[in-house]
């Protein structure tokens, strides 16, 4: 593994730099977001700007990550560790595989469990719709959709406007937020529409 090349590519959906591990809650959030997406890699001993600082206490970092993975993540996560020396400095590489038991929750400072997903280079709190999609994404029975006027109205709207959010769909279909969310979840799972999450908004487009 060429660590310098990986660092040069910068933090992303599947890569995060940590100079050191200071909080089980914070690192659990990152690991959970990777497990709920396509997996990812943590480079411990690398600053946010990509400079290699090295790990001072490898055992301590491993302990914090393992503790966060087992006690601050639900279901528990199984990280894989590797050690790479770069310019005589130790970088701890932590691989987090994509999970087949989604969604994973991270224990926050407020004592509550929250679901996080990876958006670009950030771990973002997942909406109820994203959580529901994650819950049912491993279900092999499939989703049966009956196309009522509400589903048809959504698809017709997306043919003209390209994108829609929950609030707009509630207004369009004259339905409650909960009912609208249920329809959107089923249509995402069926592959008819796609969900797009950013740090500031969440919207849907035709697949």
Residue-level pLDDT at 145: 63
- Asked if domains 3-125 and 136-206 share a fold, the reply is no
Cα–Cα distance measured from residue 28 to residue 66, given in angstroms and rounded to the nearest whole number: 10
Q: Give pLDDT tens digits for 2-52.
A: 999 999 999 999 999 999 999 999 999 999 999 999 999 999 999 999 999
Separation of CA 169 from chain center: 24
CA angle 21/25/29 to nearest 5° reads: 95
- Taking only Cα atoms into account, the Rg of the chain, rounded to an integer number of angstroms, comes to 20
- State the chain's maximal CA–CA distance in angstroms: 65
Judging by DSSP bridges, how do beta strands 193-197 and 202-206 pair with one another? antiparallel
Dihedral angle sign, alpha carbons of residues 6, 11, 16, 18 = positive
Q: Which residues contact 187 (CB under 8 A, 6 or more apart)?
A: 145, 151, 154, 193, 204
Look at the domain 136-206 and name its fold: Arc Repressor Mutant, subunit A (1.10.10)
Cα–Cα distance measured from residue 129 to residue 195, given in angstroms and rounded to the nearest whole number: 9
Q: Which residue has the tokens 């970092």?
A: 61
- 102: which DSSP letter? P
Residue-level pLDDT at 157: 96
Q: Give pLDDT tens digits for 187-202.
A: 998 889 999 999 889 9
Structure confidence at residue 106 as a pLDDT band (50, 70, 90) = very high
Residue-level pLDDT at 142: 62
- 87: which DSSP letter? T
The β-bridge partners of 205 are 194
Q: What share of the chain is helix, strand, coil (3-state, %, to 5)?
A: 40, 25, 35
Structure confidence at residue 147 as a pLDDT band (50, 70, 90) = confident
The β-bridge partners of 94 are 42, 81
* This model's pTM is above 0.85: yes
Between the alpha carbon of residue 77 and those of residues 12, 65, 72, 183, the distances in Å are 20, 10, 9, 31
Structure confidence at residue 144 as a pLDDT band (50, 70, 90) = low
**Residue in 93, 113, 112 with CA at minimum distance from that of residue 103:** 113
Per-domain residue ranges of the chain: 3-125, 136-206
Structure confidence at residue 148 as a pLDDT band (50, 70, 90) = confident
Q: Give pLDDT tens digits for 70-89.
A: 999 999 999 999 999 999 99
The highest-level CATH class for domain 3-125 is: alpha beta
């Amino acid at each position: 593994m060429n660590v310098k090349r990986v660092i040069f590519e910068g933090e992303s959906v599947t890569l995060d730099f940590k100079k050191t591990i200071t909080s089980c809650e914070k690192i659990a959030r990152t690991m959970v977001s990777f497990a709920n997406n396509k997996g990812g890699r943590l480079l411990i001993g690398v600053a946010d700007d990509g400079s290699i600082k090295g790990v001072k206490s490898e055992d301590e970092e491993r302990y914090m990550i393992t503790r966060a993975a087992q006690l601050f993540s639900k279901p528990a996560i199984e990280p894989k560790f590797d050690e790479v020396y770069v310019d005589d400095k130790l970088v701890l590489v932590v691989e987090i595989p994509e999970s087949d038991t989604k969604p994973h929750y991270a224990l926050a400072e407020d004592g509550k469990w929250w679901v996080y997903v990876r958006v670009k280079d950030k771990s973002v709190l997942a909406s109820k719709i994203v959580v529901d999609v994650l819950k049912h994404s491993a279900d092999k029975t499939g989703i049966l959709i009956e196309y009522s006027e509400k589903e048809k109205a959504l698809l017709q709207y997306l043919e003209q406007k390209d994108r829609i959010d929950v609030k707009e769909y509630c207004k369009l279909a004259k339905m409650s937020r909960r009912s609208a969310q249920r329809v959107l979840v089923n249509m995402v799972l069926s592959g008819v529409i796609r969900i797009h999450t950013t740090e500031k908004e969440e919207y849907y487009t035709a697949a």
